Amino acid sequence: MPTQNQVLVVKHRGLNVERRAFATGAGNDPNTNFIFDVVRGMNVGYHFLNLRGSLVISVGAANGTSLGPNPGNLLQRVQVECNPGGFVKSLLPRSIISRSVFDRGWLRADTALTGAAGTFTLLQPYWLRYALPRAPVPYETALQTDRFKSVQIRALGGGRTTQFTGNDRTWDFTGVTLDLSEQREQMGGDTALLYEEDIVITIPAANPAQLFTGFSTGSRYHDILFVAETTNQALADTIINRITVQSGALQFFDGLEDEIKVNQQDWFSDAAVAALGLYFAPMNPDLLLRGAVDTIPTNQLSARLDVAAPGAGADRIIAATRRVLLPEDIGS
């Protein structure tokens, strides 16, 4: 880990910062709690965690059924905590991996595990972005580390049972590491503070107007990525029929399923992108921060969802939100 003085003597900086063993001992489910201390100095454009190395799966008879992003579910949740300020990111692996489709135009995911015995080379990135690649001024939301007393990245690891159900094989993670890399820029002036969080909305039954009002207030909404999952956390296009985002009687986004699918193709740079289960709702299509939906006074954002329930109780929608506080909101 570099010191603060080493950070401050350069204009641009991007490197691998730290490597941790994914498991501290034997076991199918290490469930390791990782805490990385982020050195203050400069503005961070991104961090990314890279799950890498050799996973050995042996003996047993049942491959089981994959759960969620594969092998992305080998992490359970990633958070970035700033003091003061609390969590500026708290995300499931599904949200992190799906975001790459709209940030860079293609899916950044590793080759899926089958659950069978063998030795498998992992290379699964989890991008934690502060500067937004598609924004007119990407570094307008870079993480201004000197604004805080401390910054920590927290990641909760998983294992066999977070990635597969019904797998009875022995998983050996001793050759697997979790690496932290970053990119920073020396900049003048204050930046906006970007918050990212996801909220799980359960779908108990088909409903043409399921209302969700659990979005945070006190910030400006940049966009919401809705991710639809059915049985075994599998992505599905058979759940969402329509999405409406509004505050009171004022609508900020309204789209039928097929309209959303067609419109969001403008965000893809790879024609082969599979956007199964993904529904992108920009609150300000030009991505200018001052066009973000303001919930700072008392405005409550809500989503009205027209949904089906093919999974008979196993369906859910993950609402992955991006919201900002401008420098004048923070009082910098």
Convert 209-233 into a string of H (helix), E (strand) and C (coil). Answer: EEEECCCCCCCEEEEEEEEEECHHH
Task: Give CA–CA dist 298/285, Å, rounded.
Answer: 23
The pTM assigned to this predicted structure is: 0.94
Mean pLDDT value of segment 175-191: 94
Contact by Cβ (8 Å): 45, 114 = no
- Share of residues in the chain with pLDDT > 70 (%): 95
Quote the tokens at residue 90: 């708290």
pLDDT score at 269: 83
pLDDT score at 274: 78
Mean pLDDT value of segment 219-230: 96
Amino acid identity at 234: A
Residue 63 CB contacts under 8 Å (≥ 6 apart), including other chains? 114, 115, 116, 164, 166, 167, 169
pLDDT value at 147 more than 90: yes
4-185 is a CATH 1.10.8.60 domain? no
Instruction: Give 10's pLDDT tier (boundaries 50, 70, 90).
Output: low
pLDDT score at 1: 58
pLDDT score at 4: 53
CA separation, residue 30 to residues 23, 172, 189 (Å): 5, 10, 43
Contact by Cβ (8 Å): 124, 72 = yes
- Share of residues in the chain with pLDDT > 90 (%): 78
Residue 276 CB contacts under 8 Å (≥ 6 apart), including other chains? 235, 236, 237
Sheet (strand 207-212) strand order: 207-212, 302-307, 240-247, 250-256
Ranges in the chain annotated CATH 2.60.120.20: 198-330
Which has the higher per-residue pLDDT, 210 or 85? 210
- Give the tens place of pLDDT for each residue, 103-135: 988 887 789 999 999 999 999 999 999 999 999
- Give the tens place of pLDDT for each residue, 284-330: 888 889 889 988 876 789 999 999 999 888 999 999 999 999 999 98
Task: Give CA–CA dist 331/282, Å, rounded.
Answer: 26
Task: Give CA–CA dist 307/258, Å, rounded.
Answer: 14
pLDDT score at 109: 79
Task: Give CA–CA dist 329/281, Å, rounded.
Answer: 24
pLDDT score at 300: 87
Quote the tokens at residue 219: 């910030």
The CATH number, out of the four listed (3.40.50.300, 1.10.10.350, 2.60.120.20, 3.40.50.150), of the domain defined by the range 198-330: 2.60.120.20
pLDDT value at 260 more than 90: yes
Q: Output the average pLDDT for the chain.
A: 92
Ranges in the chain annotated CATH 2.70.9.30: 4-185
Mean pLDDT value of segment 81-104: 95
pLDDT value at 213 more than 90: yes
Specify the length of the chain in residues. 332
Instruction: Give 9's pLDDT tier (boundaries 50, 70, 90).
Output: very low
Mean pLDDT value of segment 227-246: 96
Instruction: Give 172's pLDDT tier (boundaries 50, 70, 90).
Output: very high
Strands (E), the chain: 12-21, 33-38, 43-58, 65-66, 75-83, 86-91, 118-129, 143-144, 150-157, 164-165, 170-185, 193-202, 207-212, 220-229, 240-247, 250-256, 278-282, 293-294, 302-307, 316-325
3-class DSSP state of 14? strand
In 10 A of CB 215, how many CB atoms? Answer: 21
Alpha helices (H) in the chain, listed in sequence order: 4-8, 93-104, 160-163, 257-263, 327-330
Task: Give CA–CA dist 291/202, Å, rounded.
Answer: 30
Mean pLDDT value of segment 21-39: 93
Mean pLDDT value of segment 162-174: 97
